[in-house]
Structures are given as structure tokens and as C-alpha cells.
Amino acid sequence: MRSIACIGTPSDRWLSALRKQGAVEWVSAGEEQDAEFFRRSSMCVLIASDVSAAVRRRIVTGLALESTSTVALLIDERSREEDLCCRTGEHVPVVSAALSLDDEAGGRVFLSGDASGSEGAASVFRRMSLRPVYCGTNAEHARLISWIEHALCGISRMVITEAVGMALRARLPIDLAASVIGRSSAHSWQAERFFDELLKREGGKARQPESVATMLGNLVDIALPLGLPLPLISSAMSLLSLQPPRSADDEQCVIDPFSNYERMVGLQRDRVVTGALHDCARDDPPPPPVIGYVGLGAMGSALATQALQVGRELHVFDPDVAKVERLTEKGARAAADVASLAAVCDLVFLCVPSAKEVEHILFGPGGMYGALAHGAIVIDQTTCSPADTVRFGERLAAAGVAMVDAPVTGGPDGARNGSLVTMCGGTRAAFSRVRPVLEAMGGEVVYFGPPGSGQAIKLVKNALAAANRLMIYEVLSLAAAFGIPIKTLRAALSTGPSASGALDRIVTSIVTGAPTADASLGTVVKDQQLIACMGRMTSTPLPLLNIARTVLESGSRILGPQALVDELGRLYGIESFKESRNHEET
């Protein structure tokens, strides 16, 4: 078994890991000049980041020629590029080692540099209950991947704080929000832990060391000479550096940067409510209703097809005659206009681009308002502002018509395979009537509370999904600039605290060429603008989410609103990964 010597003073996190090893010889910088030290034949020499480059070189060159020792540079937030100038010599392999954020629970250590030296160092780190992840022969890559992991975890925590703060002010049940987000494109390891923490579940507190702000600054420093745009990373670095006013009660306690951030954006943990507040009794299933469906785009067509199996009759309308014909071929009835459709239906579904179209269909010239029967229900599956939904519902209620907001997550494929999640808001009575129909159309149906609540949780989910995508693009632009292979990134970051649905989908898209989504930039920008409006309506500061919105707005202006959201990757240099993939395939 190799002996272990640690030279210098490791960071607190490294010190905690090394203490698990037990038999470590601690050597102050300069003491290693003892001749006996250099004559040892089989040793792992760990060099802390506070040891100068000159001393590092002296250690590597001073080890005996017949030595089978390995030198591992312990990387932390203090490490700089010049610290890695100590390269593998003819007889002494040198590797870099950086801790993952999950190190407390038998976590991982990123290794890069000499391949044989990494194998030797890995055996030592396994004795510390760490799982080595080899990141290639470039000694810098372990350091960069560690910084990237810290950036993903830190920014993810911050945008979750903002989005959940908005959900709390909207009085959304947090346990149901956690469940919906956990099964959507917005899911992440950090979100899961944050919700567990809010709900006081076991295993809640996610590790967020104070070094995250320094790591973010390190990434900004190396990106500046390359001209890489890192709006989220740069802004998160600045926000974590701010210190809010402290009360007398704070004088004796140390508040970590993420708790400070919660205070700055006004996260109100005492406002947590759960789904028990909005429990609805189940009524006996009603007889099959006559259903109308207006808006037969990709999502609307998929949902209307499901409605064919549920209603006594299905009446459909869309300005595009071809879309209507595809449904009538399956058994639906074509309506001449929205008013004639409304006149014969018990339930009317809407799935159109925005609240503008919803208002025109309901209340515009030739609209539904005068034709809807007393007791009918309008189910709006458009993604709209909660405030607009409440306003529409109040106007309909005056005519004896109820409204349920029921946006979905899961896309057209989810509608076809029954994996949709439908998020509902409305009165309990109206929801109880439409729930059996929505459930029969496939997937899970979740009631979030009063009118507008379904729209509110959809916007919270979309806020996280968009911010997650942009932070992945930022770190991938860094990885591409420094030549980190996409497969190495996947191995290092797709598990543990940096894991997210956005990372999985984007990396898979780069590797396979398949798209991550079929949403246009125009649609994504519309949703982000609704999120900004909801933030103002609930008096919730959204610093990073508003930056994400402006980035998406800029991308839409450059690429065009019809461009698919995946095309944003081109603005970050993600195409270089795809070119590498194509080169490997040829």
C-alpha cells in the first residue's frame, strides 16, 4: 500500500476528505527537502494549492529516479492556471485532483493528467471513500470540470430560489409543485433537494459551500480573454457577492451566500402550503359530455385526438382546414365557427398561441360568449398569464359559465402515450366536473387551487426549464473553448449535484443529433415575458430569471422567432461539439 504525504495546507474540504484516510504524513512546504523524503520508493505526494509553483517543481524533480511515486495536485477555488505548470516528468507522473460537490456522501473526485498516475492516485482516493472520475490527459480539465460543476450547482440553486419564491407568493402547494417539476423538463438534482428542504423531508439540505462565488469568478476570469458571453455566471457571481443589511440578531451568526440570496429575493419559507389545502372530493363520473376543441396545432391536435375517446361527440375548429380534416377523418365533427361549436358543447377546450387569441375566441366578434350554455365549462390549455385567466373567468362567470385553466407538460408525445401532466386551476366545483374527462384523456391531473393556479405553476416550471438550458449552454461554451470532450463532461456532470434534465437532453442531442424540443424561440420568449409579468404581480424579484429572459429575447431577434430553441446553441459555440462528433464518425 502506498504511503501518503500531504505538502502544504489543504482547503477545508480537502482536509475533511483526507482525515478519512487517517495515515497521512503532513509536511510543511520546505520540509520536503529532507533527503529521506525524496528517497521513498512508493508514495502518493499530495500538494495543496497554497504551495508555490517553484516548490512543486522541486518536489517532482527531486523524487528518486527509481521511485514509483505519484504527485497529485489538490485543486480548489484557490488554484490558478500557473499552479498546473508542474508537468509529468520522465519518471514521476503528475495528476490534478478536484473534489465534486457530493464528496460528503462517498462522493467523487475528478482526476486528469497522466493516465498511469491517475490510476495510482485513484487507489489512494478510494481509501478516502471517494469515487474517481478520470477526465483525460489534460491536467487542466479536472480543475475546469470542478469549477463548472460548482457553477451549475450554484446558479441552479439561485434560479430555484427565485422561481419557488414566486410560487410561494402565488400560494401554490409546494409538494405538488415539486412533483410536477420533478417529472418535467425542469427537473434537477438541486431542485429536488431544495423542495425536500422546504418540505422538511429527510436528506434535504444540498451542499453549497461558500467557494461557489469564487469558482464563478474563476470561470469569468478565464472566459474574458476568449470573449465568451457568460451572462448568468457573471451575474450570479456578482449577486452572491452582495451583502444585505444585517440586523442585531445576525451579529453572532455566519450567514452563507445562498441564505443571503434567499433574503435578498424575499423567499418566504413560512408561507409553504401543501396540496392538502386544495383537496377535492371525487364525484361520481358524469355521463360522456359533448366536447369542443379549438386550436389544432401540434399540441392541440394530440389532445383533441385523446378527447375523441372520451366524449359523446367531439366538435373541432381551426382556421387551418387541413388540420380540421385530419380530425374529422378520425371521427370528429367540423364546426363552421367557434360560436356554433360553443352552442352544442358541454365542455370547450382551447389550445391557442396566447391570451390574445383566447380573448378573441371568447369575447370577440362572432365569439363564444353569447353561444355558451349556462353551466358549460371552458378549459383553457393555452399558456397564459394567471391574471388574464382570472379576468376571463370572471367575465364568463357572469353568464353562468365556469373556466378551468389546464396547461400541460409533456408535449405532443406525452399526449399520445399518456404521460402528460395537466396542471389545473379553478373553482373546486368546476374542477371536479372536468377531472374525470382530463384523466380519461391520459396522464396525471393535478389541482393547484383557485383560478390561475394552473397557469402559475406552468410558468414556474417554464422559468426553471429555460434558465437550466441557458446555464448548460454557458458551461458548454467554456468546455468547448478548452477542448473538454462531450463524453468526459457527461461522465463527470450527469450524476450527482449538477445533474439536470436540461444537461441530459442537450448532451444527448449533441451526441446523437436529435432535437431536444420542438418549441420555437417566439413561444419560449412569450412564456418568459409572462414569467416576468407574474414576478411583478407577486412582487417577486427575479434577477437571474430576468437575465435569462433578455438572453432569449436577444436570441430570438438574432435567429428569428420561428427558429427552434435548439438553435440557440449556435450562439454559444455548441456547434463545435457537433463538428467533433461528425469528425469522429467519419
Domain boundary among 425, 457, 489: 457
What pLDDT does residue 401 have?
Answer: 98
Whole-number Å distance between alpha carbons of 198 and 206: 11
> Looking at per-residue confidence, does 247 or 381 come out higher?
381
**Residues contacting residue 242 through CB under 8 Å, at least 6 positions apart:** 260, 264
Q: Hunting for cell 399518456 — which residue is that?
A: 418
> Looking at per-residue confidence, does 210 or 119 come out higher?
119
**pLDDT higher than 50, residue 586:** no
What pLDDT does residue 552 have?
Answer: 98
Q: Which long-range contacts (CB under 8 A, 24 or more apart) does 396-402 make?
A: 396/362, 396/369, 396/372, 399/369, 399/372, 399/374, 400/374, 400/375, 401/372, 401/373, 401/374, 401/375, 401/376, 401/377, 402/376, 402/377, 402/378, 402/426, 402/427, 402/429, 402/430, 402/433
**pLDDT higher than 80, residue 105:** no
Q: What is the CATH number of the domain that holds 312?
A: 3.40.50.720
Whole-number Å distance between alpha carbons of 233 and 216: 6
Phi-psi region of 343 (alpha: psi -120 to 50; beta: other; left: phi over 0): alpha
Residue 465 resides in a domain: no
Q: What is the pLDDT of residues 194-216, one digit of tens each?
A: 999 999 865 555 555 567 888 89
Largest CA distance in the chain: 97
- Mean pLDDT across the chain, nearest whole number? 88
What pLDDT does residue 40 have?
Answer: 61
Rounded to the nearest 5 degrees, what angle is found at the Cα of 194, between the Cα atoms of 189 and 251? 135
Q: Mean of the pLDDT values across residues 326-330?
A: 96
For the chain, percent of residues with pLDDT exceeding 90: 66
> pLDDT class for 5, splitting at 50, 70, 90?
confident
Domain boundary among 116, 137, 158: 137
Element (H, E) at 579: helix 575-585
> pLDDT class for 67, splitting at 50, 70, 90?
low
For the chain, percent of residues with pLDDT exceeding 70: 87
Q: What is the pLDDT of residues 237-257, one digit of tens each?
A: 999 988 766 665 555 555 688
What pLDDT does residue 451 have?
Answer: 97
> pLDDT class for 60, splitting at 50, 70, 90?
confident
Whole-structure pTM value: 0.91
DSSP string for residues in 71-108: EEEEE-TT--GGGG-----SS--EEEEEE-TTGGGT-E
Residue 406 resides in a domain: yes
Q: Cα 181 to the chain's mean position, in Å?
A: 10
**pLDDT higher than 70, residue 81:** no
Residue 495 resides in a domain: no
Q: Mean of the pLDDT values across residues 502-527?
A: 94
> pLDDT class for 518, splitting at 50, 70, 90?
confident
- Under 8 Å between Cβ of 167 and 174: yes
Whole-number Å distance between alpha carbons of 518 and 564: 6
**pLDDT higher than 90, residue 384:** yes
Domain boundary among 78, 113, 137: 137
Of 149, 150, 143, 153, which is closest to residue 74 (Cα–Cα)? Answer: 143
Residue 510 resides in a domain: no
> Looking at per-residue confidence, does 339 or 104 come out higher?
339
Q: What is the pLDDT of residues 253-279, one digit of tens each?
A: 556 889 889 999 999 898 999 987 667
Nine cell digits for residue 465: 426549464
Residue 566 resides in a domain: no
What pLDDT does residue 415 have?
Answer: 82
**pLDDT higher than 70, residue 45:** yes
What pLDDT does residue 31 have?
Answer: 59
**Residues contacting residue 143 through CB under 8 Å, at least 6 positions apart:** 75, 79, 84, 96, 98, 112
**Phi, psi for residue 18 in degrees, rounded to 5:** -65, -30
Q: What is the pLDDT of residues 385-412, one digit of tens each?
A: 999 999 999 999 999 999 999 999 988 8
Q: What is the pLDDT of residues 418-444, one digit of tens each?
A: 889 999 999 999 999 999 999 999 889
Range(s) of the domain holding residue 336: 278-457
Of 479, 462, 460, which is closest to residue 230 (Cα–Cα)? Answer: 479
Packing angle of the helix pair 453-481, 575-585 (nearest 10 deg): 60
Q: Which of the residue ranges 61-70, 81-90, 334-343, 562-571 would you say has the lowest mean pLDDT? A: 81-90
CA distances from residue 576 to 149, 222, 374, 478, 545 in whole angstroms, order as listed: 21, 19, 59, 11, 27
Q: Mean of the pLDDT values across residues 331-338?
A: 97
**pLDDT higher than 70, residue 228:** yes
List the end-to-end C-alpha distance of the chain, in Å, as a whole number. 45
Residue 260 resides in a domain: no
Nine cell digits for residue 414: 406525452
Residue 573 resides in a domain: no
Whole-number Å distance between alpha carbons of 72 and 51: 12
Q: Into how many domains does the chain fold?
A: 2
Residue 46 resides in a domain: yes
Q: Mean of the pLDDT values across residues 223-249?
A: 86
What pLDDT does residue 27 have?
Answer: 78
Phi-psi region of 502 (alpha: psi -120 to 50; beta: other; left: phi over 0): alpha
- Under 8 Å between Cβ of 409 and 180: yes
Per-residue DSSP letter, 48 = -
> Looking at per-residue confidence, does 14 or 553 come out higher?
553
**pLDDT higher than 60, residue 580:** no
Q: What is the pLDDT of residues 447-456, one digit of tens each?
A: 999 999 999 9
> Looking at per-residue confidence, does 339 or 69 come out higher?
339
